Amino acid sequence: MDLGLSDEQRQLVDSFTGLLAKASTPEHVRAAEPGGVDQALWATLRDTGAVTMGVAEDHGGWGASLLDLALVAEPLGRACAPAPVIETQVAARLLAAIGTPVALDALGPALAGDHLVTMAVRPPQGGVAALTPAGAVCDAVIVLDAERLLLVPVSDRNRHPVANLADAPLADIDLSPSSSGGGAVELAAGPSAVERYETALDEWLALTAASLVGIGSAALHLGCAYAAERTAFGAPIGTFQGVAHPLADDATHLDGARLLAHKAAWALDSGDARGRELAAMAFAFASRTAEATTYDAVHVHGGYGFMLEYDVQLHYRRARGWARVWGDAEAADARAAEARY
C-alpha cells in the first residue's frame, strides 16, 4: 500500500485549495451563517465537478477514487467550506452503486446539479430522519427504513431546520407520506440494501474524518501564527514550552489522523476486509484530534471562550458540530469494535 500522492492528485489538491482560498474565506464563511450554505460557492464547486468526480464513468461521472475525494475533503475542512459536498458525493455514489432504474433516474439530475440529493446518516426514529446533512437545502434524501432504501422528496412541508453549533444546514426530515407528499420511492430492499447503505456510511465517515483533519490543520496554523506574534515577558509566547509543546503534539496527531483517513479511504476502495473498521477508527481519531487542536488554538489566543472576533472560533465550532451530525468518537469506537469482533 503506497499512500503517496501522484502528480495528478497533487494537482487536484492544489486546484481545490486555490479555489477555496478565494471563494471560502473567513468572510464568506461568516456571511453564510446561520444557513450554512454559500450558494455561489456551491454552484462553483458543483460546476467544477465536486459531485460528479466521485461517480464511475459508466454512470456519467469522472471515476475518481474515494482517496481522491478524501484529498478534496481536507481543504474543504480547512476552509470551513459552507457547501454540502461530502453528503452529496456519498449520496451520488450510493445511487450509482444501487444501479436500479429508479436509482439511476435520480442520479442523473443529481450529477447535473438540477437536484440536490443527500443521505440521512442516522436511522429514522418515529418517522423522522434527524439531523440530516444538507437537509435544510436538499431536494431529496436517501433513508434506510428497516431493510428498505427509500428516496424521499424534501420540501418546506417536511423539513425542519435545526439550529446548531456549526451553523451547518441540518434539518429533521418528516418521512410520513402526508408530509413528504407521498412521493417516496423504494430504491432497494433486503440485506443487500442494508449493506449498500452501511458502505455509504463508511464512506461518509472516512471523508468527514479527512475534513476534520483540515479543520484541525487550519486551527493549528492560526494558533502557531498567533503564538509567533504575541509577546509576553519580552518574548513570543511560542517560545514557552507550555505553548509550543501542545502545538507540536497537535501537529503530530494531525499527521496520524490524515494517514488513517487516507488508509480508510484506500481500504474501502480496494475492498479490504478492514475498510469498515478503519473508517470508524479514522473518524474517531480525527474527531478527537480536531477537538483537541482547536481547543489548544483557542487557548493560545488567550482562552477567550465565546468571543467571535478571531477566525479560530470558526474551526473550533465546526470541529465539534460536523462530527456530531452522526455521533461522537465513542460511537465510532463502538462501530469499529463491532466491525472487528
* pLDDT (tens place) for every residue of the chain, 341 residues total: 667 888 999 999 999 999 999 999 999 999 999 999 999 999 999 999 999 999 999 999 999 999 999 999 999 999 999 999 999 999 999 999 999 999 999 999 999 999 999 999 999 999 999 999 999 999 999 999 999 999 999 999 999 999 999 999 999 999 998 887 778 999 999 999 999 999 999 999 999 999 999 999 999 999 999 999 999 999 999 999 999 999 999 999 999 999 999 999 999 999 999 999 999 999 999 999 999 999 999 999 987 777 888 999 999 999 999 999 999 999 999 999 999 99
Nearest CA to 196 out of 141, 144, 133 is that of: 144
For residue 286, how far is the Cα from the chain centroid? 12
pTM exceeds 0.85, yes or no: yes
Nearest CA to 301 out of 248, 224, 244 is that of: 224
Asked whether the beta carbons of 149 and 188 are under 8 A apart, the reply is yes
Nearest CA to 68 out of 2, 13, 7 is that of: 13
State the pLDDT at residue 4: 81
Cell readout for 273 is 476486509
Instruction: Mark residue 113 as left, alpha or beta (left: phi above 0; alpha: psi -120 to 50; beta: remaining).
Output: left
Q: How far apart are CA 182 and CA 240, in angstroms?
A: 63
How crowded is the C-beta side of 48, counted as CA atoms within 13 Å?
Answer: 18
**Terminal-residue alpha carbon distance, the chain:** 24
Q: How far apart are CA 320 and CA 259, in angstroms?
A: 21
CA gyration radius, the chain: 20
Environment class of 35 (CB within 10 Å of its CB; exposed 0-12, middle 13-18, buried 19+): middle
Cell readout for 67 is 482517496
Environment class of 104 (CB within 10 Å of its CB; exposed 0-12, middle 13-18, buried 19+): middle
Asked whether the beta carbons of 116 and 138 are under 8 A apart, the reply is yes
Cell readout for 194 is 442494508
Residue-range domain boundaries for the chain: 192-340
Taking each helix axis from N to C end, the angle separating 85-98 and 66-78, rounded to the nearest 10 degrees, works out to: 160
3 state DSSP class of 162: coil
Q: Beta partners for 129?
A: 173
**Where does 192-340 sit in CATH, by number?**
1.20.140.10
Q: How does DSSP assign 169-188, residue by residue?
A: --EEEE--HHHHTT--EEEE
The residue type found at 142 is I
